[in-house]
Chains A and B, each alone.
Chain A
Amino acid sequence: MNGRIIGISGPTVSVELAGLRLYERVNVGRAGLMGEVVRLEKERAIVQVYESTRGLCVGEPVAGTGAQLTVRLGPGLLNQMFDGLQRPLAALREAQGPFILPGSGAGQALPSSVLHFEPNRRPGDTVADGDVVGYAQEGPFRHAVRAAGAAGRLLSIASGECASDVPVATLEDGRSITAWHEWPVRVPRPYRRKLSRFEPLVTGQRCIDFLFPLARGGSAIFPGGFGTGKTLLEQSIAKFADVDVVIYVGCGERGNEMAEMLDEFSVLSDPWSKRPLMSRTVVVVNTSNMPVAAREASIYTAVTLAEYYRDQGYHVLLLADSLSRWAEALREISSALEEMPGEEGYPTYLASRMAEFFARAGVVETLDGKTGSLTVLLSISPPGGDFTEPVTQACMRNTGAFFMLDTALAHRRHFPAIHWFQSFSLYEADVAAHLDRQVAPDWSALRLETRAVLQREESLREVAEIVGTEGLQDADRLLMRTAERIRREFLAQNAYTEDAFSTPEQTHARIRSILEAYREAAGRH
C-alpha cells in the first residue's frame, strides 16, 4: 500500500492512503520516518510522526505496514538503553555517531547475544498456541518461551546455548518459535487476576519507608517545582529499591542527567542482590530535545516492558521522570490535531488516559499461576510549582501515595524535600502491619510518636514567631530541638554519601535512639 503526504503540521502529517487502520504503523517519507495513524477521515488519514518532520516534503511517499506499534519482548532487554520507540541507543550510536539522525534508526534490531535455552518439549511433540516450549535464562531471570501464534508438531527444538536472534524451535509446517515476541504498546498485557495484597516496597529512603511507605503493586507520584530534587530522589530509589527489575523512563528530561545516571549505574551494585545495578535495569530515554511524539510513546513502551517482566513472576518497579512531559506531549499532538482543548489546553481525555495508565500497576496472578507485581512511581513537574494544575490533580485522584516535594525545604538543602504534612500514603496501615512483624514491634508506635513531635513543633513554631524561642518553656524547647534532630538526622538523607541508603533496621534504630533520648530528657524535667 502506497500513498503520499498531503499536509504537514508540527509532529503530524496528513496522508492520502486508503485502507489504513487506526493505530497502524506507517513509514513516512523517503527517509522512512516512523509514524502511527491517529485519525481516519474519508479522504485522508492523520499520522503522528515519531521523528522530526523538518525537511519532509508534500508528495513524498507513505506506506502502511499493516502492523501496530509494537515492543519486542524477550530475554536480553536488561542492561539496555532504548529510546521511546525501543531502538537500542548504543547500537544507534555505533551506527550513526553521537547524534541521532531521523529515519535511519527505524527497525534497528538489538545486537545479537547468546542465551541459554532449556526446552521442556521434544521434537515430535504437539504444541498449541501459547504453550510454553522451554525457558531462556537471562542472568538470574528465567523467561518462559511460548509458541506465540503458532501451533503444530515440533520439527526441531534447541537446547543449551543459542543465539538470541535465531528461532529456538521450528514446526513441521515451517513456522518457527522465537524467544522473542512482539506486543502492541498500547494494549495492556493479560493476567489471570489482580490480587489486593500490599507488601512493603523498601526504597532505602527513611522518610518514605517510615512515614509514607510504598507497597509493591502500588503507585506513587512526587510533584515538585524545579530544583526540588525529583530526579535525584527518583534515581536514588531506582538504585536501592527492593525489587527484581527496574524500568527507568527519562521522559522529556535532561541529557546530561541521563549521562550522569548511566555513569553511576554502571559502577554501582544492587544492595539487595549485590549484582551490578545495570543488570536489573532497563532504561528508556527520550530527552527533552528528542521528538515529542516519541515522548508520548515512551511511557507505553516502558510500561509494556515492565509488564513483561511482571508476567514472568518478578517484582518490577517502573519509574518515570517526568509524567508532566508526557502530558505536554499529549497536549502538543492534540493541538496539532486541532482537537477541542480542555483545562490549560490539555486534551479532555488526559484524565482518562492517566487513569488507564495507573491501572496497569498492581499485584497479579500471571497466566501461569505465578505472582508478579508492577509498582509505578512518577515524578510530576507542575508549572510554577502550582499543585492545582490539571496533571497533578488528575494523578492525585489515581495514585496510592503522594510525596509532595517542597521548594522551601529544597532551598535549605533539606533532601529528600518531602513535605511531612502534605504527603500521604494509602498503604500505610497495610505496610506497617508487615513491618511491625518483620522489623520491630514498635515500628508503628514510633511512627505515631514522630508524627506527634513534628506536629507539635509546627504549632510551637507559630508561638515562637511571636514570643521568640527564649519565651518558650523548657519542655517545649526540648521538643523543638528533638524535632530539629528528626529533621536533620532522620528525615534528611544525603544522596552523595553512604547515608543514601538505609535498611528498615537502620531506619528503626536511628529513630528509636532519637526518641529515646527525648523521652529520657523529658523525664528529667
Chain B
Amino acid sequence: MRLSRHSYSTLRSIQGPLVFVEQVLEARMGEVVTIVFPDGRETEGEVLRIERDTVLIQVVGESRGLDMDRTRIVFTDAVKRAPLSLAALNRVFSGSFRPLDGLPMFVPDRWVPVAGLPMNPVARARPQEMIETGFSTVDGLNTLVKGQKLPIFSCAGLPSREVAAGILEHARSTAATSGAMAASVVVFVALGLAHHEYAFYRQTLERMQGEFVAFINLAQDPVVERLLAPRFGLTVAEYLAFEHGRDVLVVITDMTNYCDALREVSTAREELPGRRGYPGYLYSDLASLYERAGRIKERHGSVTLLPVVTMPEDDITHPIPDLTGYITEGQIVLSREMHQRGIFPPVDVLPSLSRLMQQGIGKGRTREDHRALANALYMHYASGRDLRRLEAIVGREGMGEGDRHMLDFADAFEREIVHQGTERRSIDRTLDLSRALLVRFGLLAP
C-alpha cells in the first residue's frame, strides 16, 4: 500500500484538458486527483491511462492557467464517488456535484463510485407497469413502462423541451389511480444547456411541486464535466430507486452534447477516431449510462430514463441517435414536417417505437382493445402516408376513392390523435378517441 495522498509537480505536457505526469508511483486507474494551479486554485482530474511511471490525467473543469513548473497534482487513492443522502432531494447541483442553489452541501450518508456496476441480468425484473405520460402518441402507440429507457430524438429547433417538460409534469403511474406517480422523483441532468433552456426547465421543475434532484452543466461550463454529470445523476437515481423504493424518472438533455464532449476528449487523447470522429467505444460508453435504467426483482423502485438526443442535420443515421437506438428500448421521433404543420407534440409515429410496450398494455394493465387499436392505427396511417407520395405525383383527382379515403384518414389521425396542444389525455381518452376515429372511417366495426 502507499500513503493515501501524495503530490507531484513533474508534468511532461499539457494539451487542452489532458495532462501527462511523470515519475508517479502506483497510480490507480480512474483515480481522482486534485490539480493545484500556480495561483492556488484547485480543480479535479481523473487518471485515464498509466504506462509505467507516466500517468495521463483528464482535467475536469477549467485547465486554462496551468503551467509546467508550479502546478501540483495530488493523488487521492480513490476513484470518483458520489455523495448520497435523501438530503439531496430538491437541490440543484453543478456537473461536479457542488451546490448551485446557495445552500451549503449536505452531509452524505455514504459515498458510492459513480461508474456504477452492471446489473446481473437474472436479477432484473421485467418492466411492465405503464407510465401514463398524457401524450396519445406515447401512451396509445408507444407505451412507456417503468424501468424503460426511451429517448426523444429531436432536431434543432423542434420543441423537444416542451415534450420532455410535458412528460415530467404529466407522468403518472396507472397502477396508483390517484395523483402523481407513487413516490416518484425526477432526476434532471442538463448537459451544455443554453441559459434560456435551463430557465425553461427550472420553471417546469418548480411548477411540478414534486421532488427532484438537478445537475446543471450550462453551455459555458467545463466540457469534461458533461461526462461526469450523467453519472452523478444515475448514481443518485439508483440510490433513490433501489434503496428508498422510489420510482425515478431521469431526464438527460442533451445527449448530443455528452457525445461531443466525449469526442473532444478522445481526440485530445489522440485515440483512433471512428465514424464522424467519435471514438470507437461510443457504443460501450453510452451503454454504461443507458443500461443503468431498470428494475430489480424483489425490490421496489425503478429507474426510467428519458434522454433527449438532438439529431445533427436531422439525420437519424448519425452515430449518436443510431447507437442510442441500438441500446435503448425504442425511441420517440419528433419530425420537422409535423412541427411545421402546427402539430404538437410533433411526433412521427412511424419511426417511433417502444419495445417494451407489449407487456405494459392489454387486459389488466390498460384496456383489452389497446393492442388491436394501436395496430389498426399504425397499419392504416402507414398506408395513408404511402399514398401521399402518390398524391404528389398524380394529384388527388387522379386517385381512386378508396385511396382518397385513406389520405383523409392519415390527415385526421394527425389532427385528432397526434395533435393535442396543451391537453393532457388519460389513456382511456386516447383509446376512446382512437376507436371513434377508426369507426368514423369505417375501418373498425362500431
A residues sitting closer than 8 Å to B (CB atoms) are 6-10, 14, 52-59, 81, 89-90, 92-93, 96-102, 225-227, 250, 252, 254-260, 262-263, 285, 287-292, 325, 328, 331-332, 335, 341, 344-345, 381, 383-386, 411-413, 464-471, 496
Contact = CB atoms under 8 A, between A and B. Distances in A.
A469 B403 contact: yes
Contacts of B394: 466-468
A254 B118 contact: no
A14 B403 CA distance: 67
- Interface hub of A99, A259, A341, A384 (most chain B Cβ within 10 A): A259
Given A8-B49, A227-B351, A385-B317, A325 B283 contact: yes
Contact of B123 (A93, A252, A263, A464): A93
Contacts of A52: 115
B400 interface: yes
Contact of B119 (A99, A467, A469, A471): A99
A192 B232 CA distance: 57
A59 B2 CA distance: 10
18 contacts: A57-B27, A58-B27, A59-B26, A92-B120, A97-B123, A102-B117, A252-B283, A256-B148, A287-B119, A288-B327, A325-B283, A328-B284, A332-B280, A383-B323, A412-B378, A413-B382, A466-B394, A468-B400
B120 A98 contact: yes
**What class of interface size applies to chain B in its complex with A?**
35 or more
Contacts of B119: 98-100, 255, 287, 289
Nearest to B24: A58
B290 to A, nearest CB: 8
- Interface hub of B272, B273, B284 (most chain A Cβ within 10 A): B284
Q: Is the interface of A mostly helix, strand, loop or mixed?
A: mixed
Nearest to A412: B382
Nearest to B386: A412
A6 B29 CA distance: 12
Contacts of B123: 93, 97-99
A325 B283 CA distance: 9
A93 B350 contact: no
B88 interface: no
Contacts of B275: 344, 383
Given A98-B296, A384-B322, A465 B327 contact: no
B121 A262 contact: yes
Contacts of B31: 55
Contacts of A227: 325, 330-331, 351, 353
Contacts of A292: 281, 284
A466 B105 CA distance: 69
A411 B148 CA distance: 21
Nearest to A44: B52
Contact of B120 (A99, A335, A384, A412): A99
Contacts of B375: 413
Contacts of A328: 280, 283-284
Contacts of B358: 496
B68 interface: no
- Interface hub of B50, B271, B274, B375 (most chain A Cβ within 10 A): B50
B121 A260 contact: no
A484 to B, nearest CB: 10
Interface in B272-323: 272-275, 280-281, 283-284, 287-288, 290-294, 296-297, 299, 317-319, 322-323
Contacts of A225: 317, 322, 325
B356 A468 contact: no
A470 B317 contact: no
A345 B272 contact: yes
B30 interface: yes
B350 A288 contact: no
B122 A260 contact: no
A198 B294 CA distance: 43
A385 B375 CA distance: 25
Contact of A259 (B26, B124, B378, B382): B124
A93 B403 contact: no
B127 interface: yes
A281 to B, nearest CB: 14
A257 B351 CA distance: 20
Interface string B384-399: 0000011001100011
A57 B322 contact: no
Nearest to A291: B118
A465 B393 contact: yes
B200 interface: no
A468 B396 CA distance: 10
B296 A341 contact: no
A97 B319 CA distance: 35
A288 to B, nearest CB: 3
Contact of B379 (A263, A413, A470): A413
Contacts of B242: 98
B398 A81 contact: no
B118 A99 contact: yes
Contacts of A383: 275, 317, 319, 322-323
A256 B294 contact: yes
A411 B350 contact: yes
Interface string B40-76: 0000000001111000000000000000000000000
A383 B283 CA distance: 11
Contacts of A252: 283-284, 287
B161 interface: no
Given A92-B120, A468-B390, A259 B126 contact: yes
A77 B319 CA distance: 39
Nearest to A332: B281
Contacts of B296: 98
A259 B319 CA distance: 27
A257 B117 contact: no
B355 A257 contact: yes
B267 to A, nearest CB: 14
B322 A93 contact: no
Contacts of B115: 52, 54
